[in-house]
Amino acid sequence: MKSSFSREIGLATEGAKMNTDKNLFHHWCASVSCWWLVLVSLLTFSVGLQASAQTTQPVTRFAAVDVFIDPLGTPLGAYQVEFKATHGDVRLVGVEGGTSEAFKKPPYYDPKALQQSRIILAAFSTDSSLPSGRTRVARIHLQIRGHEAPEYELKLIVAGDANAKPIEAKTSFTPFIEEDPAAETPANREGKD
């Protein structure tokens, strides 16, 4: 056992220089690797924290919703609707008019009823050609904050004919989708000049 041990020692002694170099290299590799792992872990943790911070910060985007009224065949002379976001962090940032000449001007809103994501719109028209079919009466510009998908609700408060007599009507809304710029009219794109 002893000689065997001595032999082993002897072998070790013979290859001591080479083995020592290799061991040192292995130790160095292990040590460097450990430090790399520590650094990488810290880096990963840091990046994760940043990413986490980024996801908790509010993200914002802008969108528009088109509001339609169908007066079911009766010429539409006036309307009042309530629009609100029932889900999501939504802010109203502008109100635009409709497509028909009668309701082209942006409708008025009741400032007293205005909230962050609720608005009551109203308009009337004395135009000679009032729409009697489904028509877009307003476009509502919105800012949406956060990742939650917003949900909206539209209520018709009242619709009237040319003599301000209440009429039956249906309301609907659709998210605005940007048209193909190539198909867009020059008026939409160009300035007045």
Nearest to 117 by CA among 65, 68, 78, 169: 65
- Binding residues for another protein, per CB under 8 A? 22-23, 26-27, 29-30, 32-34, 36-37, 40, 43-44, 47, 54, 59-64, 91-97, 104-112, 114, 139, 141-144, 146-147, 176, 178, 187-193
Q: Which is nearer to another protein, 29 or 164 (CB)?
A: 29
CB of 5 to another protein, least distance (A): 16
| Dihedral angle of Cα 102, 103, 106, 107, to the nearest 10 degrees | 110
Shortest distance (Å) from residue 26 CB to another protein: 5
- 149: Cβ contacts below 8 Å, ≥ 6 apart: 87, 88
Q: Which residue, 36 or 168, is less far from another protein as judged by CB?
A: 36
Phi and psi at residue 172, to the nearest 5°: -155, 165
CA distance 50 to 148: 21
Q: Which is nearer to another protein, 147 or 170 (CB)?
A: 147
Short-list 65, 75, 71, CA closest to 102? 75
**CA 170 to chain CA mean position, Å:** 28
Least Cβ distance, residue 91 to another protein (angstroms):
6
Instruction: Give the nearest distance from C-beta 135 to another protein in angstroms.
Output: 16
Residue whose CB is less far from another protein, 46 or 170: 46
Which residue's CB is nearer to another protein, number 92 or number 162?
A: 92
Q: Look at phi and psi of residue 73 and say left if phi exceeds 0, alpha if psi is from -120 to 50, else beta.
A: left
CB of 72 to another protein, least distance (A): 27
Cα 38 to Cα 31: distance, rounded to the nearest angstrom: 11
* Closest separation in Å from C-beta 103 to another protein: 12
Within its chain, how far is the Cα of 73 from the centroid? 37
Closer by beta carbon to another protein, 43 or else 157: 43
